């Protein structure tokens, strides 16, 4: 059997109309109804009709969790992964797929996470593409107000910090493209410490189980199934860097031959291809792309 990893995208992969064909899947109506009870608003309505809300952290994160987890349920009925990982928010769907927590608990965690991140203010994030690695490392070392938030691949990173510090790095580091991100705060940086401290109590209240399959976490890309370790890693995630390049490199090292990205878009398979070009890559974005009987 081909050893397969499932990976889950996070914020930025959403698109209007996502999940439109999931409504007809068995159990999806129940999940959408349950989500409306927990969230107080309709995932289906926002995904179909409200692009402005869908692009706002408060709504984006729960919508992605619900859509991706419904795809997970449909896929788990037919096959099982050998390893899972998710990018930022995607780590929550990875943990759900691995049986670490109940679906409703996961959605409540994502809801609170989204509320805290949406209310964060005063920070800035920017993506750098085709940059000078040495120059970036030196500039970050010289400025305590900006950090590497997402190490996505050798050619793409995201920096996070105060607006002044982020703009200074963008001006100093040679890059093919430097793109400010439309987010409210300095996510995945020490500037999220207040939000992370408040979130820690919410996370502590949720029971984690031993994972069914190993998980590669954002802050620690070594595989583990240990419930305590997985919760501790998730507690560090809001202020820690997303080490996606290292997660990509760890896949073949753990015997993975095939990677399935579950959720809208193809960001993660694109990043993995740049880091590990010899892996089989597949995307499941819609019900139509789920394997047949």
Q: Would residue 188 show up in a list of annotated catalytic residues for this protein? A: yes
Helices (H) and strands (E) in the chain, counts: 12, 9
**Helical segments of 131-187, H only:** 133-142, 163-172
Neighbours of 171 (CB within 10 A): 9
- In the DSSP assignment, the letter for residue 242 is B
**Helical segments of the chain, H only:** 28-39, 43-49, 51-54, 57-76, 90-97, 103-119, 133-142, 163-172, 193-204, 227-237, 244-253, 267-275
- In the DSSP assignment, the letter for residue 56 is S
Instruction: Give the SS3 label for residue 99.
Output: coil
* C-beta of residue 282 within 8 angstroms of C-beta of residue 260: yes
Place of tokens 């999806």: 28
> CA angle at residue 276 from 268 to 152, to 5 degrees?
45
Q: Would residue 88 show up in a list of annotated catalytic residues for this protein? A: yes
Q: At what angle do helices 267-275 and 244-253 cross, to 10 degrees?
A: 60
Distance, in Å, from the CA atom of 227 to the CA atom of 230, rounded to the nearest integer, reads 5
* Catalytic one of 87, 188, 189, 248: 188
* Catalytic one of 13, 28, 88, 241: 88
Q: Which residues are catalytic?
A: 88, 188
């Amino acid at each position: 059997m081909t050893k397969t990893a499932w990976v889950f995208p996070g914020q930025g992969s959403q698109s209007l109309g996502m999940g439109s064909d999931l409504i007809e899947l068995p159990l999806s109506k129940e999940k959408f109804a349950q989500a409306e009870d927990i969230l107080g608003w309709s995932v289906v309505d926002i995904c179909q009709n409200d692009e402005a809300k869908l692009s706002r952290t408060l709504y984006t994160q729960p919508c992605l969790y619900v859509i991706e987890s419904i795809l997970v349920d449909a896929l788990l009925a037919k096959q099982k992964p050998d390893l899972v990982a998710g990018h930022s928010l995607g780590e929550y769907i990875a943990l759900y797929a691995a049986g670490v927590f109940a679906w409703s608990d996961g959605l409540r965690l994502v809801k609170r996470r989204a509320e805290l991140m949406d209310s964060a203010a005063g920070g800035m994030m920017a993506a750098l593409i085709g940059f000078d690695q040495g120059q970036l490392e030196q500039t970050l070392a010289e400025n305590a107000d900006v950090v590497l938030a997402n190490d996505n691949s050798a050619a793409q990173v995201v920096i996070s910090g105060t607006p002044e510090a982020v703009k200074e790095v963008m001006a100093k580091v040679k890059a093919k493209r430097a793109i400010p991100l439309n987010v409210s705060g300095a996510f995945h940086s020490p500037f999220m410490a207040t939000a992370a401290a408040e979130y820690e109590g919410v996370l502590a209240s949720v029971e984690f189980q031993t994972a069914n399959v190993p998980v590669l976490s954002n802050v620690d890309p070594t595989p583990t199934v240990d419930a305590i370790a997985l919760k501790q890693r998730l507690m560090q995630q809001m202020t820690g860097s997303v080490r996606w390049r290292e997660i990509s490199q760890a896949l073949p090292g753990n015997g993975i031959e095939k990677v399935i990205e579950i959720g809208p878009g193809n960001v993660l398979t694109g990043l993995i291809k740049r880091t590990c070009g010899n892996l089989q890559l597949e995307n499941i974005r819609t019900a139509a792309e789920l394997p047949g009987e």
